[in-house]
Structure 1
Amino acid sequence: MKLQLALDRMTIAEAIELTKQVEDSVDWVEVGTSLIKEFGMSSVKELKQAFPNKVIVADLKTIDNSRYEFEMAFEAGADIATVMGVSPLVTIDACIKVAQRSNKLVMFDLLNTSKEQVSDLLKYNEAIFCAHVSKDEQEETGAKNLGTKHGGLLTDPTLKLAAAGGITLDSLESLRKTINPSVVIVGSAITKANNPSEAAAKFKQAIGQGE
Structure 2
Amino acid sequence: MNSENIGQPKLNDSDIHHHTDIAVNNDVNTDAPSAVHTLDQAPVRIQLALDRMTIEQAIDMAGQVQEDVEWIEVGTSLIKEFGMDSVRRMKEAFPHKVIVADIKTNDNAKYEFELCFRAGADVATVMASAPDATLDLCMQTAKSYGGIVMIDLLNVTPQRAEELRRYTEAVLCKHVSKDQQEHDGQALGRKSMPDLQLQDTHSNDPDSTRRAHPSIAAAGGITLDTLPSILQDRPAVVIVGSAITQAAHPAAAAREIRSRITEVMQTTQKGAYHV
Q: TM-score, normalised by structure 2?
A: 0.74
Higher Rg: 2
| Compared CA separation, residues 22 and 107, structure 1 to 2 (3 A) | same
- Other-structure match for 1:205: 259
Matched, 1:149 2:181: no
In 1, Cα distance between the equivalents of 2:162 and 2:224?
30
Matched, 1:136 2:136: no
- Structure 2 equivalent of residue 190 of structure 1: 244
| Structure 1: 4+ residue segments shifted above 6 A | none
Residues of 2 paired with 1:26 and 1:122: CA distance?
Answer: 27
Provide the aligned length of Structure 1 versus Structure 2: 208
| Residue type of the alignment partner of 1:198 | A
* Whole-Å separation in 1 of the counterparts to 2:149 and 2:214: 13
Contact preservation (8 Å) 2:47, 2:237: yes
Which residue pairs with 1:113 in the alignment?
156
Alignment of 1:165-184 (within 5 A): 165-177=220-232, 179-184=233-238
Structure 1 alignment gaps of length 5 or more: none
Shift of 1:148: 2.2
CA distance in 2, matches of 1:56, 1:167: 20
Q: Deviations over 1:71-120 (max 9, x none)?
A: 00000000000000000000000000000111110000000112232222
The aligned runs of 1:68-83 (5 Å cut-off) are 68-83=111-126
CA distance in structure 2 between the partners assigned to 1:139 and 1:207 by the alignment: 25
Asked whether the equivalents of residues 216 and 236 of structure 2 are also in contact (C-alpha less than 8 Å), the reply is yes
Give me the whole-angstrom Cα distance separating, in 1, the residues matched to 2:186 and 2:133.
31
Structure 2: unaligned runs, 5 residues or longer = 1-43, 200-212, 266-275
Corresponding position of 2:140: 97
Residue 30 of structure 1 and its aligned partner are, at CA, apart by 0.2
Contact 2:76 2:104 in 1 (8 A): yes
Which residue is 1:85 aligned to?
128
CA distance, structure 1, for counterparts of residue 198 and residue 255 of structure 2: 30
- Measured against aligned partners, the alpha-carbon deviations of 1:46-86 in whole angstroms (never above 9, x if no partner) come to 00000000000000010011110000000000000000000
Q: What amino acid maps onto 2:223 in structure 1?
A: T
Q: Distance in 1 between matches of 2:165 and 2:235?
A: 16
Taking every aligned residue pair, what percent have the same amino acid on both sides? 51
How far, CA to CA, are the matches of 1:101 and 1:116 in structure 2?
Answer: 29
Whether the 8 Å CA contact 2:188–2:219 is kept in 1: the answer is: no
Aligned-residue RMSD, C-alpha: 1.0
**Partner residue in 2 for 1:58:** 101
Q: Secondary structure at the match of 1:162?
A: strand
Give me the whole-angstrom Cα distance separating, in 2, the residues matched to 1:202 and 1:156: 26
CA change 1:156–1:25 in 2 (3 A) is closer
